[in-house]
Chains A and B, each alone.
Chain A
């Protein structure tokens, strides 16, 4: 049972990083320090995640569910989906 939580948190960390990087690359999520501050209040990651889910016709939850992560891991074009 000890290893199980570690595996989960590691996977979750990877997923968080996948989401962060994907939204920075393709949905203009800013990754500066101020941004981290603001994340405590209104979370731009949730907003950007909703934009991405809407673009791909997924359920717009603002949460990195399995299907959303699945789409993020697919090979794609490097040009952003939202204008810079």
Chain B
């Protein structure tokens, strides 16, 4: 996180705010609600309190304006610059301006007012932009479905105003660091010749334009997939990737989630209802056999016959000796299976049933 230069702050932590005018894109109640939720985010992690007033000057004045609105920072029409806010201080200090040339929404569509208001409020309280892509104070607009303060945001506001008064100190999600040697994964899959690694709300992939690996929100590609995916695999000859969470799964083709999903794993693959979720999955392109890993067992599904093979489930150790009794994630590349468990990665030859190498989980990133 970054504090605004000069570390401006509100000396009185009981602040007032006033919504001077309303966008026609939403009902007044929806605007009031979005702004109120944004204030609640920050008051819940700090000693700050906010009171809405309807008359006269408030500490934080909120308005919807377009183009040049005489604050020396003109807006630029649709897109681009969405809103701005001023650091703590008298008069224009703390004020928030939303660009009325944008379409303001209270859902996934661009641009979600609650999400932008939460960011701008960070400026009104003394925060500058963060380089943490998982932080609300990151400069670019990314809407990942839910609006929550990351640990970076919480640390930032508490650096200015101290901790919140509630007994249990709130904590926020941390953004994975691709070169953290303790990095573990929720799921990994090939996708159209690339590798995609999943952790919490994020995907990671190697990309020639990034010095390490690219990390961004899963919602950038698939806005309606849930966070915290548990398994994923590609059926290459159908150009389909399947994502699993709990007893449901989604199928995507490129960035499109296929119609009729999510479906239940019981109906589609024939799992017993005792199976509550899948830990990992991989489809062997050479044989059309898909392996599902559930706790210390594995199941084998025939993609052509579209049914489970007889004789399964088996203990993982029977088909894949040496990789341990739990799998976090697995993918196939150049005929080999790569198994991940915790910080470890096993390169496995399915023909000889032997482990070829043992590596760190994040060995695929240029650390």
Contact = CB atoms under 8 A, between A and B. Distances in A.
Given A26-B139, A81-B139, A75 B111 contact: yes
Residue of A67, A68, A77, A81 with most partner-chain B CB within 10 A = A77
Nearest to B79: A75
Interface stretch (B43-51, B81-89, B150-158, B328-336): B81-89
Contacts of A66: 209
A25 B209 contact: no
Contact of A81 (B110, B116, B129, B207): B129
B135 to A, nearest CB: 12
The A interface, classified by DSSP as helix, strand, loop or mixed, is loop
B141 interface: yes
Contact of A58 (B73, B82, B120, B209): B209
Contacts of B211: 57-60
A71 B83 CA distance: 17
B140 A75 contact: yes
Contact of A25 (B79, B81, B131): B81
Interface in B53-105: 73, 75, 79-85, 99
B168 interface: no
B183 to A, nearest CB: 16
Contact of A75 (B73, B82, B131): B82
Given A25-B81, A71-B140, A74-B140, A79 B210 contact: no
A35 B273 CA distance: 70
A78 B84 contact: yes
Interface in B265-284: none
Contact of B83 (A56, A68, A78, A83): A78
B289 interface: no
B75 A65 contact: no
Given A57-B211, A58-B210, A59-B209, A79 B123 contact: yes
B210 A57 contact: yes
Contact of B80 (A58, A59, A68, A75): A75
B209 A77 contact: no
Interface residues of B, number: 30
Contact of A78 (B75, B128, B207, B210): B75
A18 B23 CA distance: 28
B341 interface: no
A77 B83 contact: yes
A77 B122 CA distance: 11
Nearest to B110: A75
B347 interface: no
Contact of A76 (B4, B73, B140, B210): B140
B119 interface: yes
A41 to B, nearest CB: 28
B85 A79 contact: yes
A76 B131 CA distance: 13
B209 A76 contact: no
A56 B210 CA distance: 10
State the 5 A-B residue pairs at the shortest beta-carbon distance, nearest first.
A67-B209, A78-B84, A83-B5, A78-B81, A75-B141
Interface of B: 4-5, 73, 75, 79-85, 99, 110-111, 116, 119-120, 123, 128-129, 131, 133, 139-141, 207, 209-212
Interface of A: 25-26, 55-60, 65-68, 71, 74-79, 81, 83-84
Given A65-B209, A76-B81, 9 more contacts: A56-B131, A58-B210, A74-B141, A76-B82, A77-B84, A77-B116, A77-B123, A77-B141, A83-B128
